[in-house]
Structure 1
Amino acid sequence: MNKQLRILILEDDNADAELMEHELKKANFTFTSNRVETREAFLENLENFAPDLILADYTLPSFDGCSALRIAKEKCPDVPFIFVSGTIGEDFAIESLKSGATDYILKDRLSRLAPAVHRSLREVEEKIEYRKAEKEKERLLKAIDNSNDGIIIADEKDRYIYMNEAYAKIYGYAEEELIGETWRKLVPPESIAATELELDRTIHNKNVGRLSGEFPGIKKDGTNIPIEVRGTALWDENGNYDGHICIVRDITARKQAEEKLLLFRKLIDQSNDAIFVNDPETGRILDANDKACTNLGYNREEILDMRVMDFEINIPDQFSWKEHVEEVRNRGHLILEGSHRRKDGTIFPIEVNVSFIVLGENNYMVAEVRDITERKQTEEALQISEKKYSTLVEKGNDGIVIIQDGLLKFINSKMAEIAGYTITEAVGKPFSNFIFSDCRGLVIDNYKMRMSGEKVQNKYEIKIISKDGRNIPVEVNASLIDYEGKPAEMAIIRDINERKQAEEQIIHSLREKEVLLREIHHRVKNNMQIVSSLLGLQAESIKEKKYLEMFKDSRNRIMSMYMIHEKLYRSRDLEKIEFNEYITDLASGLLQSHGVEAGTVKLNLNVGDTSLGIDFAIPCGLIINELITNSLKYAFPDGRIGEISVSLHPFNKNMFELVVSDNGVGFPSDVDFRKTESLGLRLVTILAENQLHGQIDLERAGGTRFRIKFKGGK
């Protein structure tokens, strides 16, 4: 072993301890060890020696191994604990292992010690690695669930089998509405064919297996949105397409930002004013718009090789430029008049609005230069632009308010309509007068933080008070603006009263449906209970054993389905059955029904936390009922003692394996279970292949083992 181990030996015989150490050294273990005999010394070494391994005798004069085991499991549960004793009964050995001991070794068989230590240390390492893996898995799942990007996993038919909340929200759906659907539900109909071709070329193509690009999407409300998709194909062990994983992002905001950036550049280039970006140190032109080139008669390359002093008459040299920069830096910005010289030598008057801008560690001078001869045309264009803006504000479907110094400076007609005030009644009043008391503190705090330049949430929901005293829910989207030369808050306010009412209606409807579904399960289980009772009453009048068995089998089948509906009725989750408790109750009921004496047939159930939907739970329950019944009838003749085992576990993606076995006399080798006259086995085959759409196999070695593999739904 490469690691130096710390071994704590609980042993009153020093010679025995030395024999243990000798065996470990023979096996090339490197270690330091402490031998203790008392409880106090054992506790002190657990705390200060921090052992990697504990070897303990069962019986000591003043202490015992069982007490030491309990202490060790409490204080250092991951440290292997091996009993090394002269005599140890089989019952005690089993009990010690159940209590948490890693192994037990007899002192006259110390050759087993080194392998046992090897195995124990390896198991500890595996346990620690497993915990790390589980923690990493939880971290990854949490990251996926909390991701702002949509993430999905699809099966081989491109049906969604997993998605995070963000993915469903992108398209305006709830997650459960999309599970089982394909991407076709989220693509505009006219784009489906083109999207299929692209998928076949990329993610469905084994030679490519990846997808990256922008695609059209469609939300639940019919809105088209641009989507950025990055996907990777999944392949099974045979190289067949087995689904894909995709990360999806709604790039509406980015597209809008890109469009705004392009629009901004176009606006700059198409501006009637020349715009320059200059280096404050040298006066060199860093950027200029088309109007600047046109006004001066230079192309862009020529202008970018010039300085301000090359064409500004009032700034003829570097000294004048530095004075100009210092003045602009101190005042923030300046508006002044000057003159520019064109390439052909002609001079024209200008008005310059210049600002000093700091972006990170870089400083810039930005100058907007206007040819004063065009002023009237520019003013006319500005008036037209302002009129368009005013029309948009007044004719829009949303309310708009401007708040300055805590007062309403402006409200549009829609806002007045929402609140029930006239514009004259509202303007000039404190905006807080119109906010519902429960929301007033939030709105005032947001306003103060925004005015002080702090980062604050722009979009939120509040209630406002109408003139007639009603509380109206609204959605607010606020931002900081400059209004009449001073900072102000502009808020776009949308009346969401109808939306809130619709949400409440949906919640009420869902609750009604849940109550109805529980009532259905309740009535179904009650009806099955009645049928079962009727069969029981009818069976009391039947004397022939053959027909009595048939009635008993039918009653057990009904009870297996009854128990499903009973579990669903009492469960919070109406979609799935916790199978561990269900199989335990079902199997116990069958033992009681068949009058199995205690201690003759042992049930081994290994189901874990497996859950199944009702469409899979009922056929599985019937199959388990039939196979356990078959074992109870035929596997243990003449009171033979034996075991029946049932296991149900998931494997791979959404697959389950159900195994029902016994160690009885075995299934006759000359009988085909698919063609037997037994109604129970015919029913098992039909349920496995036709209901579960699974595969059923029989193994005859060492008893009887039926193995059924099936896909477990969504």
Structure 2
Amino acid sequence: MTSKILILEDVPFDVELIEREISQSGIDFLSKTVELEEDYVRLIDEFKPNLILADHSLPNFDGISALEIAKNKCPEIPFIFVSGKIGEEFAVEALKRGVTDYVLKSNLSKLGPAIKRAMIEVQEQIKLKKAEEELLKSHWQLKEAQKIGKMGSWEFDILSEDMDASEGLFRIFGVEKIEQDFNFSRFLDFIYPADKKRVSDTIQEALKNKSSFSQEYRILLPDGSLRYLYSLGKIINDTSGKPLKILGIEQDITQRKLDENKIKESLKEKEILLQEIHHRVKNNLQVISSLLRLQSRFIKDPEALEIFKESQNRVSSIALVHEKLYHSPDLASINFSEYIRNLSKDIFHFFHSKAQNIKLKLELDEIFLNIETAIPCGLIINELVTNSLKHAFLPEQKGEITLKLFKDGDKITLIVKDNGRGLPPGIEVNNTQTFGLQLVYFLNKRINGVIKMDTSQGTSFKICFEELNYEGRASNGE
């Protein structure tokens, strides 16, 4: 049977990797890819997918919104997140919202088994639903299905206050079937004390609103052990609309909860490992910077000494990125405005003799950048601010260097300018013999930026760029 898979993804290269992994898993499928909300909603109705794979973050849409749409339009369809990074809090929240599974793009080998598992679960749910519809005709079939799915069902008659439960429910509770005097109060006795009031309040709220309900809670077994259940319930009304009965299904999800905890522990371990990597890279770069500083003490040639000092500054600007990532709660990006403040402060401190009469003006919006974009941008700032301090002002001349950072849509603008004497006539960024400006030109190409130079009042460099995504990094050979 051919499975129809709807892929919500904005990176074509990632789509190719996903489709190749599905194919290699032996799954016969037909796929369509979208990245906009309107196309996504339309294809749910037209394409009628059997499965949805979604990135959790897109430029104009997001996975959580896509999940909510799918829950409303096709709640029976499995929904799997396939993302480059998923934080612990996001993963837990996604599971609470009803996502079927999630797979990291760095571990796509798990995608095939996840899809097969999701398809199997869908088939089991279909079988269970069919068994419930044919309850009067095939009670034995329902009991077997509940046993396989670790599920149990119950029915509460609101008028008589009688409650009837399947053998599966008592099997989950770890007791023999109670044939007489089983009521809602005794049902609540099995629930873990801390969860009892919440379960009761949820059902009462559903009765008040005449709505269905779902929730997770814990039960306490006779041997003292805890198990986790997922509950689905529906209010049955009479012809006048008055609540008549409550039908409920309970499923033992203890194993899923244990798996969630393992995933949380694994994610935490990976975060600690990544922090350690950034910490070690930063330390190694600082060692290189120190070696350059020590070596410079033995250099007599002023021009060679200047090259060593500038190289030391460049290494320090890269080390500062890794230091920020080490301390950042989000290991994938840093607060770049905060980084600029620290970097510019370090540069002014390094050139303190030249910077005594120079004022630094910062106009920075709070913008976060990934490491691939932050490092070249940091080096560009280092070069331009260093050039201004070294060449823009005469000795003892007062002046000002301004750094601006702001965002307009997907575009980020960086401006570095001074009110000094300006560059010599005829100098162009893309055609110059000075190493500093050559480096700026090279780094600007690396981030796919557009650079404009203005020398009408001092010297101003304006660079417009977008944060590099996976495709952008790959195309630059990273």
Q: Which TM-score band applies after superposition, normalised by the shorter structure? A: 0.5 to 0.7
Q: For residue 657 of structure 1, what is the aligned residue in structure 2? A: 413
Q: Once the 2 structures are TM-superposed, how far is the Cα of residue 658 of structure 1 from its aligned partner?
A: 1.7
Alignment-mate amino acid for residue 421 of structure 1: V
Q: For residue 532 of structure 1, what is the aligned residue in structure 2? A: 289
Runs of at least 5 residues in structure 2 that lack an aligned partner in the other structure: 1-7, 53-58, 77-133, 470-478
User: Which of residues 317, 338, 356 is equivalent to 1:560?
Assistant: 317
Alignment-mate amino acid for residue 159 of structure 1: D
Matching of residues 86-485 of structure 1 within 5 Å: 159=10, 190-192=29-31, 214-216=45-47, 223-224=50-51, 250=69, 386-389=136-139, 391-396=141-146, 397=149, 398-403=151-156, 409-423=163-177, 428=182, 430-445=186-201, 455=210, 458-480=213-235
Aligned length: 380
Distance in 1 between the 2:300 and 2:396 partners?
23
Contact 1:407–1:431 under 8 Å retained in 2? no
Q: Once the 2 structures are TM-superposed, how far is the Cα of residue 539 of structure 1 from its aligned partner?
A: 0.8
Deviations 1:513-555 (A, max 9, x none): 2211211111111111111111111111112111110111001
Distance in 2 between the 1:252 and 1:594 partners?
59
Alignment-mate amino acid for residue 453 of structure 2: L
With over 3 angstroms needed to count, the CA separation of the structure-2 counterparts of 1:191 and 1:438, relative to structure 1, is same
Q: Once the 2 structures are TM-superposed, how far is the Cα of residue 245 of structure 1 from its aligned partner?
A: 11
Deviations 1:552-608 (A, max 9, x none): 100111111121122222222323222333222222322232243565222222222
Alignment-mate amino acid for residue 142 of structure 2: L
With over 3 angstroms needed to count, the CA separation of the structure-2 counterparts of 1:159 and 1:462, relative to structure 1, is same
Q: TM-score, normalised by structure 2?
A: 0.67
Distance in 2 between the 1:685 and 1:611 partners?
23
Q: Once the 2 structures are TM-superposed, how far is the Cα of residue 410 of structure 1 from its aligned partner?
A: 3.5
Alignment-mate amino acid for residue 313 of structure 2: N
With over 3 angstroms needed to count, the CA separation of the structure-2 counterparts of 1:713 and 1:417, relative to structure 1, is same
Q: For residue 512 of structure 1, what is the aligned residue in structure 2? A: 269
Q: TM-score, normalised by structure 1?
A: 0.47
Contact 1:400–1:412 under 8 Å retained in 2? yes
Alignment-mate amino acid for residue 530 of structure 1: V
User: Which of residues 321, 342, 345 is equivalent to 1:588?
Assistant: 345
Contact 1:635–1:666 under 8 Å retained in 2? yes
With over 3 angstroms needed to count, the CA separation of the structure-2 counterparts of 1:159 and 1:557, relative to structure 1, is same
Distance in 1 between the 2:75 and 2:315 partners?
61
With over 3 angstroms needed to count, the CA separation of the structure-2 counterparts of 1:250 and 1:487, relative to structure 1, is same
Distance in 2 between the 1:607 and 1:453 partners?
52
- 2:448 is the alignment partner of 1:698: no
Q: For residue 124 of structure 2, what is the aligned residue in structure 1? A: none
Distance in 2 between the 1:482 and 1:606 partners?
62
Contact 1:669–1:700 under 8 Å retained in 2? no
Alignment-mate amino acid for residue 527 of structure 1: N
- Secondary structure (helix, strand or coil) at the match of 2:137 reads helix
With over 3 angstroms needed to count, the CA separation of the structure-2 counterparts of 1:670 and 1:254, relative to structure 1, is closer
Distance in 2 between the 1:180 and 1:647 partners?
34
Distance in 2 between the 1:537 and 1:387 partners?
88
- 2:437 is the alignment partner of 1:667: no
- Secondary structure (helix, strand or coil) at the match of 1:423 reads coil
Q: Once the 2 structures are TM-superposed, how far is the Cα of residue 212 of structure 1 from its aligned partner?
A: 8.3
Distance in 1 between the 2:388 and 2:44 partners?
58
- Secondary structure (helix, strand or coil) at the match of 1:386 reads coil
Ranked by relative contact order (alpha carbons within 8 Å, sequence separation 6 or more), the top structure is 2
Alignment-mate amino acid for residue 224 of structure 1: L
With over 3 angstroms needed to count, the CA separation of the structure-2 counterparts of 1:245 and 1:612, relative to structure 1, is closer
What is the identity percentage for the equivalent residue pairs of Structure 1 and Structure 2?
33
Contact 2:216–2:230 under 8 Å retained in 1? yes
Q: For residue 577 of structure 1, what is the aligned residue in structure 2? A: 334
Distance in 1 between the 2:209 and 2:61 partners?
43
With over 3 angstroms needed to count, the CA separation of the structure-2 counterparts of 1:659 and 1:385, relative to structure 1, is closer
Q: For residue 472 of structure 2, what is the aligned residue in structure 1? A: none
Contact 1:602–1:643 under 8 Å retained in 2? yes
- Secondary structure (helix, strand or coil) at the match of 2:353 reads coil
With over 3 angstroms needed to count, the CA separation of the structure-2 counterparts of 1:189 and 1:588, relative to structure 1, is farther
- Secondary structure (helix, strand or coil) at the match of 1:550 reads helix
Q: Once the 2 structures are TM-superposed, how far is the Cα of residue 707 of structure 1 from its aligned partner?
A: 2.1
Distance in 1 between the 2:452 and 2:219 partners?
69
- Secondary structure (helix, strand or coil) at the match of 2:136 reads helix
- Secondary structure (helix, strand or coil) at the match of 2:224 reads coil
User: Which of residues 611, 615, 618 is equivalent to 2:375?
Assistant: 618
Q: Once the 2 structures are TM-superposed, how far is the Cα of residue 408 of structure 1 from its aligned partner?
A: 7.2
With over 3 angstroms needed to count, the CA separation of the structure-2 counterparts of 1:516 and 1:534, relative to structure 1, is same
Contact 1:394–1:413 under 8 Å retained in 2? no
Distance in 2 between the 1:517 and 1:449 partners?
45
Distance in 2 between the 1:566 and 1:624 partners?
17
Distance in 1 between the 2:198 and 2:466 partners?
51
Bigger radius of gyration among the two: 1
Distance in 1 between the 2:436 and 2:204 partners?
76
With over 3 angstroms needed to count, the CA separation of the structure-2 counterparts of 1:443 and 1:590, relative to structure 1, is closer
Runs of at least 5 residues in structure 1 that lack an aligned partner in the other structure: 1-153, 161-178, 204-209, 226-241, 258-383
